[in-house]
Amino acid sequence: MNAFVDVSFFPRAAKPLTSYRKYWAARFGTSRFLPMSRAEMEQLGWDSCDIVLVTGDAYVDHPSFGMAVIGRLLEAQGFRVGIIAQPDWHSAEPFKALGKPNLFWAVTAGNMDSMINRYTADRKIRSDDAYTPGAEGNRRPDHAAIVYSQRCREAFKDVPIVLGGIEGSLRRIAHYDYWSDKVRRSIVVDAKCDLLLYGNADRAIVEIAHRLAAREPVQKITDVRGTAFVRRSDDESAKWEGDGSAHGWFEIDSTSVDEPGRVEAHVNPYQTTSEQAAGQGGSCAQDEHRRKAQAPHGGVALQMLSIQELLAHNRRAQTANLA
């Protein structure tokens, strides 16, 4: 049986990003742009990449593009980072453009969920793509994170795959897919990735990169916050010392997670405070104040009038005088 594990609730202090010793490749310095071809790698003096990023967006070296930020973050840690942007997904050959990554693949569908990027709410294919040069459409597949991960596995089977981005984050658990009108299982299972990072995963991906660089097996990296992975309960290879995923893991019954409780009635926004109070079996403080202000005095009840009421009374008196 496959057990989905989310370790976000494990108590462990976050390690500062600047506390890691830089990887040995830091001696190559900072590249002007992350290489996208062998020729660009040779210009930098690289014979291989430590990490290869695969994204469904065009590569623009700007903070508005998530993979550019992640690439520069990993580069600042000393790693040689290459990027494959919007590859042709019909075969594994484009994924071999930079050679075999030394540490891992980092895969994302891009800044948007690929299904939202490609289809309208009417399930019609969009004619443009804001994250593609010239706004050209049809440059990424449906469920791009799954397709890219499968092609990476096909290109180099033994290289770990780390999946992230908004598509991975939102689909990390069983979810309703509007376009197929079905409840799909976790993307971790379909993509067959080794680790999924969700949310702001800057600290997580830096820690994973350094641990993989230290030759720690990816199956043993099960204690990083903000990660998810799949393990089989009878998988002997996953029973590492201190690995909580194989020993003592537990499942959460989904029927009790979203159990419906009391449903509050919608409040009519056009009701006055007096009407709202009366509907709840109470009274308005302003009405109470008015009633207390009405006191008997010589058989005549004194009443406090508002400014609006006084103005209306004066207008009526003036009209009577004119008549």
Q: Are residues 12 and 107 in the same domain?
A: yes
Q: Are residues 148 and 220 in the same domain?
A: yes
Number of domains within the chain:
2
pLDDT of residue 152: 97
**Domain enclosing residue 191, as ranges:** 2-248
Q: Are residues 288 and 206 in the same domain?
A: no
Among 248, 271, 302, the domain-final residue is 248
> Which of 222, 229, 119 is CA-nearest to residue 164?
229
Q: How far apart are CA 322 and CA 138, in angstroms?
A: 79
DSSP alpha helices (H): ranges in 110-175?
Answer: 114-118, 144-155, 165-170
pLDDT of residue 302: 46
Q: Are residues 313 and 164 in the same domain?
A: no
pLDDT of residue 71: 96
Neighbours of 43 (CB within 10 A): 12
pLDDT of residue 272: 78
Q: Are residues 158 and 307 in the same domain?
A: no
pLDDT of residue 18: 87
Angle at alpha carbon of residue 269, lines to 263 and 270, rounded to 5°: 135
Among 188, 222, 248, the domain-final residue is 248
pLDDT of residue 278: 81
Q: Each residue of 97-131: pLDDT tens digit?
A: 999 999 999 999 999 999 998 999 898 999 888 88
Count Cα atoms within 13 angstroms, Cβ side, for 206.
22
Note whether residue 264 is domain-resident.
Answer: no
Q: How far apart are CA 76 and CA 147, in angstroms?
A: 29
pLDDT of residue 300: 45
Note whether residue 267 is domain-resident.
Answer: no
pLDDT of residue 275: 80
pLDDT of residue 16: 86
Q: What is the mean pLDDT of each run of 10 residues along the chain (323 residues)?
A: 51 79 94 95 96 95 92 96 96 96 96 91 89 88 95 96 94 90 92 94 95 95 90 59 53 64 76 78 69 53 56 69 61
- Which residues fall within 8 angstroms of residue 219, CB to CB, at 6 or more apart? 194, 237, 238, 240, 243
Q: What share of the chain is helix, strand, coil (3-state, %, to 5)?
A: 35, 15, 50
pLDDT of residue 274: 78
Q: Are residues 305 and 241 in the same domain?
A: no
- Which residues fall within 8 angstroms of residue 28, CB to CB, at 6 or more apart? 44, 45, 46, 80
Kindly report the CATH number assigned to the domain that includes residue 123. Answer: 3.40.50.280
**Residue 176, strand partner residues:** 183
Among 228, 248, 268, the domain-final residue is 248
Grouping H, G, I as helix, E, B as strand and the rest as coil, residue 176 is strand
Place of tokens 């979203």: 258
pLDDT of residue 15: 81
